[in-house]
Amino acid sequence: MKDILGARRGLLLGWILTLLFAVPAVRALTPRTTDLDVPKRCNLERVFKRIGYNCAKLDLKEIPQNLKSSMEILDASYNRIRDLNPGTFERYTDLQYLYLAENMIQTIEPGTFAILTNLEAIDLSYNALTTIPVELFNLPLLRNLYIYSNNLYDLRTDLESIEKPIRAPLQLLNIADCRLGSVPDFGILPDLWHLNLSSNPLQHIQPQQFSPLCNLKTVDLNNTKMPPCACQQMTFYMRRRSIAIKNGMTNCDSSAEELIYCPDVVNSTRDASDFDECNVVRETKVLNEKATSSWMIVALSILACLVAFVVLLYVCHRRNAKSTKDVQKITLSDVKPSEENGNRDTLLSYDKT
């Protein structure tokens, strides 16, 4: 009987110990609702003394509206953003660098970027865009545009409707892997020095399409699958203009028979009139910048002279004031004794009478 009671007590004690250890373990494995409800926050960072936020990889579906309105850098890459509207960046007009790569952006409403007049660089790569928002071409400070790996099949139609030359001083343009058959007609781009066209099926590429890009220094044509004759023409054209072909030229292998049917390389690679027009615009821009800098130097020189003149007047005034005070002190010291002597003589004359 005692053995049975002892066994029961041992079994009961085992169950109690099992429950004591099992319940905390289950609680630890079960996610708390409060932890799930806590939103992921963007990290405030300073980059080269600029206010920036790192909002990457937070599964965001929209741009947060509780960030500092004075931020200049925003990285919202690797999220789940689908749409952008004019209210998205309404609070953040000081933005200079905007990174929106690796999202699911399909729609960008007109007016979304128009207010970002301080924007210098934007990355819209790896999204679901079919064109480049045309208002980007009117931003006065936009230098770098990355929009590769988008299906830009509407770009040609949209570029026909914009005013040219565009206002944006683009220097670097990356439109790789955008299913382009030719170089898009952006008009004259006198500041552009690098163009990435790699991984595009450039079946209709022609040297004259590069004529409006008179300042072009490097171009990436890797994996473009252009026809042999076009490849030969582009190689000759790039050499003539001293444009470096990044990653080399591919798919230029062709037999002698194929090259016989190619058009005259020299005549077919002559620049169009856009090249001369682009150079005129660029030279005018350079002259204007020099004139502006010269006027700034003249203005600063005049200002420095005025400041020096004012300082000189102030110093002279202080010296004159000090000299006047010294003269007054000397005059008073001379006048007082004479007045005393005069009074004393007057009293003596009265005594004599």
pLDDT tens-digit readout, 159-201 = 998 999 999 999 999 999 999 999 999 999 999 999 999 999 9
- The DSSP code sequence of 169-238 is ---EEE-TTS--SS-------TT--EEE-TTS--TT--GGGGTT-TT--EEE-TT----HHHHHHHHHHH
Kindly give, in sequence order, each residue whose CB lies less than 8 Å from that of residue 92, ignoring residues fewer than 6 positions away. Answer: 67, 69, 71, 74, 116
pLDDT of residue 270 exceeding 90? no
Three-state DSSP class for residue 152: coil
Model confidence pTM above 0.85: no
- The DSSP code sequence of 56-112 is TTS--SS--SSS-TT--EEE--SS---EE-TTTTTT-TT--EEE--SS---EE-TTT
Which residue's structure tokens are 């790699």? 198
pLDDT digits 0-9 by tens, 94-126: 999 999 999 999 999 999 999 999 999 999 999
Beta bridge partners of 43: 54
Domains and CATH numbers, the chain: 39-170 (3.80.10.10), 171-292 (3.80.10)
pLDDT digits 0-9 by tens, 43-93: 999 988 899 999 999 999 999 999 999 999 999 999 999 999 999 999 999
pLDDT of residue 127 exceeding 80? yes
Q: Are 197 and 220 in contact (CB under 8 A)?
A: yes
Q: Are 67 and 92 in contact (CB under 8 A)?
A: yes
